[in-house]
Amino acid sequence: MSLVSVAPSSPSDLRRRDEILDTAAQLFASQGLRTSLQEIADACGIQPGSLYHHFESKEAIVVELIARYHGEVDRLAQARRFDDGVSDASAARERLLQLSTAIAQCAARHSAAVQFTFYDPPGGASDELVRLARRPPDALEATMRRTLEAGRKTGFIRSGLDLSVVSDRICQTMLHVGLGLFHRYPAERVAPVLCGILLDGLATDSPSNSQLDRSAALTAVKEVIKTWPKADDPDPHDRAAVIHAAARSEFGRRGYEVTTVRDIAAAAGLGTGSVYRVIGSKEELLTSIMREFSDKAAAGWSAALGSDATVVEKLDAVAWLQINVMERFYDEFKIQLAWLRQVPPDIPSIGWSFAAVMRRLKDELATGVRAGDVSIHGASAGLTARCVLEMTWIPETIIRGVGKRNALVHARDTLLRGVAVRRSRG
């Protein structure tokens, strides 16, 4: 049975219900599930009792938001055939851009729902919420794959690429527009930049795998990765290590906001009092976890960008770093998403500076353009740098599905070489 309460019986009820959903979506997108019903009611200018007239619980609102998101995704996948009428390369490019932009706009409209699908529902969640939160966008990926296949028939998309992987990558990249990294930019500006990188690549020349494999930047990053400890189970007698591992897993699985010290204690097989005595507060635990992660990631970035290599080779090395981060520190990556919201967690700086990374990326890209190694068109330096950062991340599903080496080749195809047949860049 649906968690949404009795259907509204009047136009005014429908309007108020939509207002509640829209307001809740804005609050969830910026604050996560820690947002209370009282905060939602206050933002709507109504009493909590009036809110309960439309929704029986906060979970009912979350269910409706995710259902609305999936409904729009399904309508987008079925509304029109993006592979119809693709007779030449120009039409193929336009259809891919149209579909990519529509996905990005959908993700921006449903930012909160997109975030919910990245985490497990809270403990005790209904079967309906669990099902909705874990549902993949299969129909959307099928539509993207057909569109790519139509483009390949025109000679626009390169042969030798696994279009199922490429469609997964494009769809996830566009859905990430709803996660916060691009919240200052409208989706219709972001999507063409991301799509341009995916189709045409950043590299002016098409670098070979053997050339990139020999770069000083990749060698430097590999040396940093060797220093990372293996992801072994913690010593059961080391309470701090056990709590640390349990917290990392729970924060990554549930999201920081809704994870309690009680949840961490249960996962660690300890009492809540033991957690407080050994670690301190939840905020202190999060800071410890993320500082350790950020130090390792920052060392990899410094090694790549500080190497004696071209900008293209440095970006390739960063992609390899991110692949290994996703494999080794996936929980921390998901926790890090909170820092990309408009209202990040109220904890001290963890050392990894997003602003510093953006500055360095902009400088490197400008250097690559001046050297003639990198080709960038039609976007500000700030937006381009954010898009490049997004494109260095390979979705965990792809890494798990094809392996790290093939994921690196895929990153080279979608970040550096592009999946479209090369045109003159004169």
Domain boundary among 200, 234, 266: 200
Q: Is residue 265 domain-resident?
A: yes
Residue 373 reports pLDDT greater than 70: yes
Taking the CA atoms of residue 8, residue 178, residue 382 and residue 353 in that order, the dihedral angle to the nearest 10 degrees is 110
What is the predicted pLDDT for the residue at 97?
Answer: 95
**How far is it, in rounded angstroms, from Cα 114 to Cα 407?**
24
DSSP letters spanning 401-412:
HH-HHHHHHHHI
Residue 130 reports pLDDT greater than 70: yes
Phi, psi of 374 (to 5 degrees): -120, 140
Q: Which two tokens stand for residue 39?
A: 């905060």
Q: Is residue 409 domain-resident?
A: yes
Shared-domain flag, residues 134 and 273: no
Shared-domain flag, residues 218 and 155: no
Q: Is residue 6 domain-resident?
A: no
In the numeric block, the tokens 């400088």 are attached to: 363
Q: Is residue 103 domain-resident?
A: yes
Domain boundary among 200, 223, 239: 200
Shared-domain flag, residues 379 and 257: yes
Domain of 90, in residue numbers: 11-200
Q: Is residue 5 domain-resident?
A: no
Q: What is the mean pLDDT of residues 371-387?
A: 90
The enclosing domain of 159 has a CATH number of: 1.10.357.10
Q: Is residue 71 domain-resident?
A: yes
Q: Which two tokens stand for residue 274?
A: 């033991």
Q: Is residue 2 domain-resident?
A: no
Range from 36-40, 192-196, 352-356 carrying the lowest mean pLDDT: 352-356
157: β partners = 420
What is the predicted pLDDT for the residue at 338?
Answer: 60
Shared-domain flag, residues 241 and 215: yes
Domain count, the chain: 2
Q: pTM of the entire structure?
A: 0.88
Most confident of 25-39, 281-295, 403-417: 403-417
Shared-domain flag, residues 214 and 177: no
Shared-domain flag, residues 176 and 265: no
What is the predicted pLDDT for the residue at 350?
Answer: 46
Q: What is the mean pLDDT of residues 329-341?
A: 73
Express each pLDDT in 228-261 by its tens digit.
Answer: 988 777 888 888 889 989 988 888 887 777 788 9
CB under 8 Å, gap of 24 or more: what pairs does 241-246 form? 242/268, 242/269, 242/270, 243/268, 243/270, 243/274, 243/275, 243/278, 243/279, 243/285, 244/279, 244/285, 244/288, 244/289
**How far is it, in rounded angstroms, from Cα 293 to Cα 305?**
19
Q: Is residue 425 domain-resident?
A: no
Shared-domain flag, residues 17 and 57: yes
Domain boundary among 166, 200, 234: 200
Express each pLDDT in 18-59 by its tens digit.
Answer: 999 999 998 988 777 778 899 999 999 998 888 888 898 999
> Which one is predicted more confidently, 119 or 246?
246
Shared-domain flag, residues 325 and 229: yes
- What count of other Cβ atoms lies within 10 Å of the Cβ of residue 237? 7
What is the predicted pLDDT for the residue at 199?
Answer: 97
Query: Nearest 5 degrees, angle CA 50-CA 55-CA 59?
Result: 130
Shared-domain flag, residues 143 and 268: no
